Every structure is written in C-alpha cells, then in structure tokens.
C-alpha cells in the first residue's frame, strides 16, 4: 500500500485516482500520520451487494419450516445416500 502526503496527494490527485482505479490502495498522511485512504470503489460495491443479498436471504427464509422434521434426522438421511 502506497503512502502519500496530503500536499503531494492534492498536487497529483488525478494520477492517484488512476492508480486506485487500477486496484491500488493509497493512504493519505498528514505529518507522517495516516488520515485517510483512497480505495477502489468496486470493493465497496461488492460488499454492499453481499449485504443486500444476505438481507434478501434472511427475508426469504423467515417462516420457512421443516414440517416437523429435525435437522439431525435430515443429516442422517443424507448420510445414508
């Protein structure tokens, strides 16, 4: 991960964006201390999609029952085949 000072980041922002777009993560520092990160947006979008899908799965599975069967019985039946 590349570290860049705030002044340099301001002066070369377009160049940094190109590097981030290519997948690089960049830490912006002030007086040598990290204050921000620039990361590719596609990673954030993927996390949002995963969270959206998980919420959808949880919504769908609510109210789904096994009709009186136990999980142990289903596992045992699966092992017999």
- 26-30 vs 2-5, strand pairing mode: parallel
Give how many domains the chain has, as a whole number. Answer: 1
Contacts of 66 (CB under 8 A, 6+ apart): 74
Per-residue pLDDT tens digits of the chain, which is 81 residues long: 899 999 999 999 999 999 998 889 999 999 999 999 999 887 666 777 888 889 999 998 887 788 888 888 889 988 987
For the entire predicted model, the pTM comes to 0.52
Q: Which range marks the domain in which residue 41 is found?
A: 1-81
User: Any idea what the CATH number is for the domain that residue 1 is in?
Assistant: 3.40.1620.10
Question: Closest by alpha carbon to 38, among 80, 6, 78, 11?
Answer: 6
pLDDT of amino acid 51: 84
């Amino acid at each position: 991960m590349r570290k860049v000072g705030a002044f340099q980041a301001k002066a070369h922002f377009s160049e940094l964006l190109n590097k981030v777009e290519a997948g690089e993560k960049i830490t912006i520092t002030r007086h040598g201390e990290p204050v921000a990160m620039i990361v590719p947006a596609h990673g954030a979008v993927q996390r949002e999609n995963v969270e959206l899908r998980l919420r959808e799965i949880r919504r769908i599975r609510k109210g789904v029952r096994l009709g009186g069967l136990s999980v142990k019985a289903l596992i045992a039946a699966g092992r017999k085949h």
